[in-house]
Amino acid sequence: MNNKGISFRLNWTITSIAILIIASIGYINHLFTDQVLMEKIEEGAIHQSNLVVSKISRITIGTEEITRNVSYLAMYYHKNKELNLFLKQVLSSNKVLESIQIELLDDDQKDVLRFSSNKLSEDVCMPRQPINEEYIKNLQSGKLVPSEGAWSDPFYCQNDTANLFVSYMMPIYYPETKDIAGLVSCEVSLRKMRQMLSEIKIGKKGYAYIIDGSGWLITHPNEKWILKKNFFDMSSPIKSNDIKKIELKIKNSERGAGYGASDYMNYQKCWFYYAPLSNSNWTLIIVIPEKELFMEHDMNLYKTLFVFVLGILILFLLNMIIFKRVLDPLARVTSAIQSFTSVPGKGSKTKDEIEMLAQSLEDWQIKYGRLLKEQLKSAKEKQKFENDLKSAHEIQQNIIPTGYPAFADHPEIDIYAVLKPAESIGGDLYDYYFIDNDHLLIAIGDVSGKGIPASLFMAIASTLIKSNSNILSSHEIIEKVNNELGDRNPNQYFVTLFIGVLNINTGVMDYCNAAHNYPYILHSDGTLRTLSKSHGIPLGIYKNKTYKSNTIELEQGDLILLYTDGIINSRNPKGTHFGIENLKNSVEGMNNKSAREVVTSLLESIAKYEAESVQSDDISMLALRYLYKTKNQA
């Protein structure tokens, strides 16, 4: 600490005193407010629990109400021989019920008549609860109120031991008497009730289940625990030190809450709430992880700590500013100079402000000199690179033929081409020239990639085409170019290439397409078609690859259009490609235009389509119109 500056030492002392004072006030405030926050948190959790209790109670109370109504109307429908139809109607209009059963004594009070309606077929599951004779005796003896029903213990389906049910029973009386004519029971699926509980959102990871009067689980997210674990004994899914007190409260139909460890959540600490369900001996248990329950409480604590730390930082910074202004203006100057840093790896060995200032000035002078040298070197390199690009662009433009008309002494040929690189230079190529007096070669290609490497590969490919074009066979030219490119291609560049050799006297063109875009032919009558023959893979990949060729005869006025994929890959501001269809639609209807007008019109269409978008790929086009042909010398 003694090695620090005077302003830092003074600031540190005052800040430490402030930390002690603020921390003491915060701790005292936390003690007073913690209890209030805990009560509010628990009140909110109980409110959420009451919503779940309300949803479950709708099922139990609804089932009791349905059973009571059926018991009142059963004798009427039985007398009119419509009891089965009545039960089906009740069952179909109440989704909560799985089946309704009625057992009536016949007129002689000897035999039992059974009526039932089930949603599931008997071969799948038939929930059938036997008549509770003890319940009948209690009603007859007056131990139970005549209008009071009773819930049965859980029971399994006869044909499916995985499907658990419970039924609510009500007596049926003869009209205007207190004599029992039979019993009605409505069955509810505890599996569906479990599914409903699992769909209720209880916080993020909370869950709910139901226990019966004896503590046995009758619903639970873990279906294997149903009727296997008891809430009141050692197998309880909640481990709590107060389980005996809680058991007494549950059996007295009281509500309450407690803390424990949830077996279902790997013994994570949790808060649980228990509440009786109306008109039954069931109890709903709702479990919420303690972390989730007190998340708001913890967030308030974190916020307080954050404000505390932020306040200390602000205090420290304010003190630093004040002390620097009042006590140590020289330190402010030194700190400002040191913020530009000194020579890398050279640290200050003293905290004396004057020595630090002198050292900082020396270091800054060294650094500033290096910066000037680097800027000068960067400016020279940038200028050299720009000059090289300009020269490369001019060289590339000189490689390809330009000018219009191309062949003034050959009026039967109208040809025009254009190349627009995406960068200063690109990897597209086109070429056209007469091999001899009768044969015109046209070519277009697209090198993989863009920029300087692609342009160099393009120049090599163009040179190789010229040096091998005296063969008058398109596929042989391509084979020779491919072999020579394979010999000098360590970086595995490749080029797609279309070459056509046109006999201007006959209109017959021998062509070979090495994986390039299919050219279009626009006939003089306005019909458009593609040369959809492909004769092999791109050049430069495999040596000694053989290629084939095809021929086509051009008629007077036919136009052939060659292009690279920069045309169809042009994008509008939304990122949608220009595509084949737009190109096809643009070419149609140009049968009366010159080659130059065709190319110019297509470039305008693409520019309009791209709008403000930046060109992403090199664009090349070559249009050739065969204006007429001489008579064939048979």
Residue 567 neighbours by CB distance under 10 Å: 24
pLDDT in tens, 464-483: 999 898 888 999 999 999 99
- 323 secondary structure, DSSP code: H
Fill in the amino acid letter for 41.
I
- Residue 153, sorted as left (phi over 0), alpha (psi -120 to 50) or beta, turns out to be beta
Give the residue carrying structure tokens 């639609």: 585
Mean of the per-residue pLDDT values of the chain:
81
Give the residue from 126, 242, 238, 113 showing the smallest Cα distance to 184. Answer: 113
With beta carbons less than 8 A apart as the criterion, state whether 454 and 493 touch.
yes
pLDDT under 70 in the chain at which residues? 1-9, 11, 30-31, 33-35, 37-38, 41, 45, 106-112, 120-147, 158-162, 279, 296-297, 323-324, 326-362, 368, 381-398, 629-634
539 SS3 class? strand
- Count Cβ atoms within 10 A of the Cβ of residue 544 and give its class: 0-12 exposed, 13-18 middle, 19 or more buried: exposed
Residues 67, 72, 78, CA angle at the centre, nearest 5°?
Answer: 105
The torsion angles phi and psi of 11, rounded to 5 degrees, stand at -65, -40
At 199, list the tokens.
């769909």
**Distance between CA atoms of 124 and 159, rounded to whole angstroms?**
6
Distances (CA, A) of 580 to 448, 495, 566, 583: 20, 21, 11, 5
**Distance between CA atoms of 68 and 330, rounded to whole angstroms?**
94
Beta strand 439-447 with 495-503 is antiparallel
Whether omega before 405 lies within 30 degrees of 0, making that bond cis, reads yes
The distance of Cα 347 from the centroid of its chain, to the nearest Å, equals 49
**Distance between CA atoms of 195 and 350, rounded to whole angstroms?**
73
Distances (CA, A) of 288 to 230, 257, 429: 19, 11, 71
Residue 162 neighbours by CB distance under 10 Å: 10
**pLDDT at position 632:** 45
**Distance between CA atoms of 24 and 51, rounded to whole angstroms?**
41
At 414, list the tokens.
């109208």
- 280 secondary structure, DSSP code: S
**Distance between CA atoms of 435 and 473, rounded to whole angstroms?**
11
The reported pTM is: 0.44
pLDDT in tens, 177-211: 777 888 888 888 887 877 877 777 777 888 888 99
Give the residue carrying structure tokens 């090695």: 3
Distances (CA, A) of 151 to 146, 167, 179, 510: 15, 6, 21, 94
At 300, list the tokens.
């308030």
Fill in the amino acid letter for 217.
L
Please list the alpha-helical segments (H only) found in 285-416.
Answer: 290-293, 295-326, 329-338, 353-399
**pLDDT at position 354:** 57
The torsion angles phi and psi of 500, rounded to 5 degrees, stand at -130, 135
**pLDDT at position 369:** 73
The distance of Cα 321 from the centroid of its chain, to the nearest Å, equals 48
Q: What single string gives the DSSP state of each residue in 417-462?
A: EEEE-SSSS-SEEEEEEESSSSEEEEEEEEESS-HHHHHHHHHHHH
Residue 142 neighbours by CB distance under 10 Å: 9
Q: For the chain, list the domains and their CATH numbers.
A: 60-188 (3.30.450.20), 201-293 (3.30.450.20), 400-626 (3.60.40.10)
**pLDDT at position 476:** 94
Residues 490, 494, 495, CA angle at the centre, nearest 5°?
Answer: 145
With beta carbons less than 8 A apart as the criterion, state whether 66 and 97 touch.
yes
Q: HSE (CB half, 13 Å, CA atoms) of 454?
A: 20
**Distance between CA atoms of 426 and 616, rounded to whole angstroms?**
11
Tell me the helix, strand and coil percentages in the chain, rounded to 5.
40, 20, 35
Enumerate residues 6+ apart whose C-beta is below 8 A from 147.
Answer: 68
